[in-house]
Amino acid sequence: MVNDKNIRSTWQRARAVFSINDPRWGRGQGGNDASRRPQDQRNGGKDGQEGPPDLDELWRDFNRRINRLFGRKGGGDGGSPGPANLGNGRGGHLGLGVVVGVLVAIYLASGVYIVQEGQAGVVLQFGKYKYTTGAGIQWRLPYPFQSNEIVNMSQVRSVEIGRDNMIRSTNLKDMSMLTKDENIIDVRFAVQYRVKDPAAFLFHNVDAEGTVTQAAETAVREIVGKNTMDYVLYEGREQVALQLSQQIQRILDQYKTGIIVSSVTMQSVQPPQQVQSAFDDAVKAGQDRERAKNEALAYANNVVPLAQGTAARMVADAHGYRARVVAQAEGDAARFKQVQAEYAKAPAVTRERMYLDTMQQVYSNATKVIVDSKASSNLLYLPLDKVLAQHRAHAQGGASPSAPDNGAQGGASPAGGPAVPAQAMPGASVGGDVSRSRDLFRRRGRDDGQ
In degrees, rounded to 5, the angle at the alpha carbon of residue 88 between the alpha carbons of residues 82 and 92 is 125
How confident is the model at residue 389, as a pLDDT?
77
How confident is the model at residue 413, as a pLDDT?
38
pTM: 0.46
194 plus 299 within the same structural domain: no
163 plus 255 within the same structural domain: yes
261 plus 327 within the same structural domain: no
How confident is the model at residue 429, as a pLDDT?
40
189 plus 233 within the same structural domain: yes
Residue 411 domain flag:
no
Average pLDDT, the chain: 74
| Percent of residues, the chain, with pLDDT higher than 70 | 63
Residue 183 domain flag:
yes
Confidence of residue 333 (pLDDT cuts 50, 70, 90): very high
The whole-number average pLDDT for the span 166-193 is: 76
Q: Lowest-pLDDT range, 150-159, 268-277, 351-360?
A: 268-277
31, pLDDT greater than 50: no
How confident is the model at residue 204, as a pLDDT?
86
How confident is the model at residue 166, as a pLDDT?
54
The whole-number average pLDDT for the span 389-401 is: 65
Residue 407 domain flag:
no
**Which domain does 119 fall in, by range?**
114-152
Query: How far is the C-alpha of 174 from the C-alpha of 182, rounded, in Å?
Result: 17
Q: Lowest-pLDDT range, 52-56, 221-225, 305-309, 403-407?
A: 403-407
Confidence of residue 310 (pLDDT cuts 50, 70, 90): very high
261 plus 292 within the same structural domain: no
How confident is the model at residue 434, as a pLDDT?
44
166 plus 268 within the same structural domain: yes
Confidence of residue 8 (pLDDT cuts 50, 70, 90): low
Non-local (6+) Cβ contacts of 419 within 8 A are 371, 409, 410, 411, 412
Residue 74 domain flag:
no
Query: How far is the C-alpha of 228 from the C-alpha of 226, rounded, in Å?
Result: 7
| Percent of residues, the chain, with pLDDT higher than 90 | 16
210 plus 131 within the same structural domain: no
How confident is the model at residue 367, as a pLDDT?
65
315, pLDDT greater than 90: yes
Confidence of residue 288 (pLDDT cuts 50, 70, 90): very high
State whether the Cα torsion 70-71-76-79 is positive or negative: negative
How confident is the model at residue 167, as a pLDDT?
52
How confident is the model at residue 410, as a pLDDT?
38
How confident is the model at residue 40, as a pLDDT?
45
139 plus 164 within the same structural domain: no
Query: How does pLDDT run across 83-135, given as a tens digit for each residue?
Result: 444 445 555 566 677 788 888 889 888 888 888 888 888 889 888 888 888 88
> Which of 272, 292, 320 is the last residue in one of the domains?
272
305: enclosing H helix or E strand: helix 276-345
Residue 77 domain flag:
no
217 plus 232 within the same structural domain: yes
Nearest CA to 193 out of 208, 172, 178 is that of 208
**338 vs 92 pLDDT, higher one:** 338
How confident is the model at residue 155, as a pLDDT?
87
How confident is the model at residue 412, as a pLDDT?
37
How confident is the model at residue 45, as a pLDDT?
45
Total structural domains within the chain: 3
Confidence of residue 420 (pLDDT cuts 50, 70, 90): very low
Cα distances from 414 to residues 373, 374, 384, 432, in angstroms, run 8, 9, 19, 14
How confident is the model at residue 331, as a pLDDT?
93
326, pLDDT greater than 90: yes
Residue 406 domain flag:
no
130 plus 230 within the same structural domain: no
Query: How does pLDDT run across 352-362, given as a tens digit for each residue?
Result: 888 888 888 88
> Which of 355, 378, 403 is the last residue in one of the domains?
355
The whole-number average pLDDT for the span 127-156 is: 87
How confident is the model at residue 360, as a pLDDT?
84
Non-local (6+) Cβ contacts of 404 within 8 A are 367, 368
266, pLDDT greater than 90: no
Residue 339 domain flag:
yes
> Which of 152, 180, 200 is the last residue in one of the domains?
152
Query: How far is the C-alpha of 199 from the C-alpha of 259, rounded, in Å?
Result: 11
**366 vs 120 pLDDT, higher one:** 120
How confident is the model at residue 91, as a pLDDT?
55
178 plus 137 within the same structural domain: no
Query: In a 10 Å sphere around its CB, with 0-12 CB exposed, 13-18 middle and 19+ buried, how is residue 74 labelled?
Result: middle
Residue 301 domain flag:
yes
Query: How does pLDDT run across 210-225, given as a tens digit for each residue?
Result: 899 999 999 999 999 8
CATH of the domain at 195: 3.30.479.30
227 plus 291 within the same structural domain: no
Burial call 170-182: b when 16+ CB within 10 Å, e when fewer: eebbebbbebeee
